[in-house]
Amino acid sequence: MLRLVLLLLGMVMTAAPLAAKPLIFAHRGASALRPEETLAAYEKAIADGADFIEPDLVPTKDGVLVARHESNIAETTDVAAHPEFAERRAVKMIDGQSQQGWFTEDFTLAELKTLRAKERLGALRLESMGYDGRFEVATLSEIVALAARSGKRVGLVPELKHPTYFAGLGFDTPGKLIAAIKASAYLRRAPVIVQCFEIATLKRLHRELAGQRNVALFQLIQSSDVKQPADVVAAGGALTFDDMVTPKGLSEIATYAQWIGPPLRRVISLDAAGNTGTASALIADAHRAGLKVGVFTFRPENQFLPANLRYGEPGARWPQGMIADVRSFVAAGVDGFFTDDPALGRIAVDGGDAAGLE
């Protein structure tokens, strides 16, 4: 009888293996709790259980890759309080959008290191705001060293920002990342997933990192209000992000990437009242094409949640709402997700509630 029970149990386990838990990508680190893209944000994310940490990569004037969400640092550093840099304020056109501020490509690394990070969302994130003025702009190499020191097998999921724009200024940011991956003992063995909205950059990485078995590629997808990747626009092409998420488009992505990264509401929409709506076919279509799906971005404040998952004041933090939102996507079959609060993401994936984390 015991042998029969064991045989039947083995058959059940073979027929229905446990599904892998979705990966937790720490969006700019634990950016709900520490100023984004700083070593402190990444350290907190690792401590809070993130599987991967995300540095957005932009260049300095002297060609060093640093972690900033955009090269415009007006909102994320105290540069405006430095009179010695006042004349570097500029207006630039980046991927068709006019931006005014100060830009990393106009500063050497030594100059950037004199600045200090601040919370981009201000009083919406009071805990993070309390760390304003304490942390430097971090380099890619410093972030890699932090991950290596952690003692955990934490992955990196870097995003190459605006590579076509930077190429026009003489910066080969994909080449610098490729060189960094090949030169780093940690990046040659740890999981690395490189993200970009631009297709040509990912195809180049696919060619030049073909021998790096620990490296995967992640085609980011914009929301419907952005029509085309910047490199397609620059080349005069017709391909749109909407085209890219059709079954035909997904099959094409699968020839050079392993993941797609759509915004949340391309996967589960909101209805006219802002409540959680219905799931699209995107996850199923991507899986049929052999692609994994990693959605962005879950945040724990009411203003970023569906209306039916909010509680309290509009700007209040409501962890339970974010956990419920994440779990709806887990149920829909996502393979990973970006979040500003990896601790809440870990609760959503592993079980439990957010008692005491408000």
- The mean per-residue pLDDT over the stretch 45-67 comes to 98
Q: In this structure, what DSSP letter does residue 225 have?
A: T
- Whether 98 is in a domain gets the answer no
Look at 10-14, 112-116, 137-141, 291-295 and tell me which has the smallest mean pLDDT. 10-14
- Whether 100 is in a domain gets the answer no
CA distance 295 to 261: 5
Does residue 331 contact residue 283 with C-beta atoms inside 8 Å?
Answer: no
pLDDT per position as a tens digit, 259-307 = 999 999 999 999 999 999 999 999 999 999 999 999 999 999 999 999 9
Share of the chain above pLDDT 70, in %: 93
Specify the residue for token string 């073909």.
210
DSSP 290-351: T-EEEEEEE-SBGGGS-GGG--SSTT-B-HHHHHHHHHHHHHHT-SEEEES-HHHHHHHHH-
Cβ atoms within 10 Å of 92's Cβ, excluding its own: 16
- Whether 30 is in a domain gets the answer yes
Cβ atoms within 10 Å of 181's Cβ, excluding its own: 23
Look at 5-19, 196-210, 239-253, 262-276 and tell me which has the smallest mean pLDDT. 5-19
Q: Which of 106, 131, 150, 151 is nearest to 34 (CA)?
A: 131
Provide the pLDDT confidence category of residue 358 given band limits of 50, 70 and 90. low
pLDDT surpasses 60 at 5 = no
pLDDT per position as a tens digit, 148-189 = 999 999 999 999 999 999 999 999 999 999 999 999 999 999
Cβ atoms within 10 Å of 256's Cβ, excluding its own: 16
Specify the residue for token string 């805990």.
127
CATH number at residue 325: 3.20.20.190
DSSP 138-180: PBHHHHHHHHHHTSS--EE--EE--HHHHHHTT--HHHHHHHH
* pLDDT at residue 4 in the model: 33
- Whether 228 is in a domain gets the answer yes
pLDDT per position as a tens digit, 340-353 = 999 999 999 999 77
pLDDT surpasses 70 at 198 = yes
Helix, strand, coil percentages in the chain from 3-state DSSP, rounded to 5: 40, 20, 40
pLDDT surpasses 70 at 207 = yes
- Whether 10 is in a domain gets the answer no
In the three-class reduction of DSSP (H, G, I as helix; E, B as strand; rest coil), residue 52 is classed as strand
Provide the pLDDT confidence category of residue 2 given band limits of 50, 70 and 90. very low
CA distance 66 to 244: 30
pLDDT surpasses 90 at 49 = yes
- Whether 357 is in a domain gets the answer no
- The mean per-residue pLDDT over the stretch 5-12 comes to 34
pLDDT surpasses 60 at 16 = no
Q: Which of 328, 332, 326, 318 is nearest to 348 (CA)?
A: 326
- Whether 105 is in a domain gets the answer no
Burial of residue 91, with CB atoms counted within 10 A of its CB: 0-12 exposed, 13-18 middle, 19 or more buried: exposed
- The mean per-residue pLDDT over the stretch 121-141 comes to 97
Specify the residue for token string 């932009």.
58
Q: Looking at per-residue confidence, does 355 or 16 come out higher? A: 355
Range of the domain at 252: 20-71+122-350
In the three-class reduction of DSSP (H, G, I as helix; E, B as strand; rest coil), residue 59 is classed as strand
* pLDDT at residue 10 in the model: 38
Provide the pLDDT confidence category of residue 239 given band limits of 50, 70 and 90. very high
- Whether 111 is in a domain gets the answer no
* Average pLDDT score, the chain: 94
Q: Which of 263, 274, 271, 259 is nearest to 321 (CA)?
A: 274
Question: What is the number of domains present in the chain?
Answer: 1
* pLDDT at residue 52 in the model: 98
What pTM was computed for the model?
A: 0.93
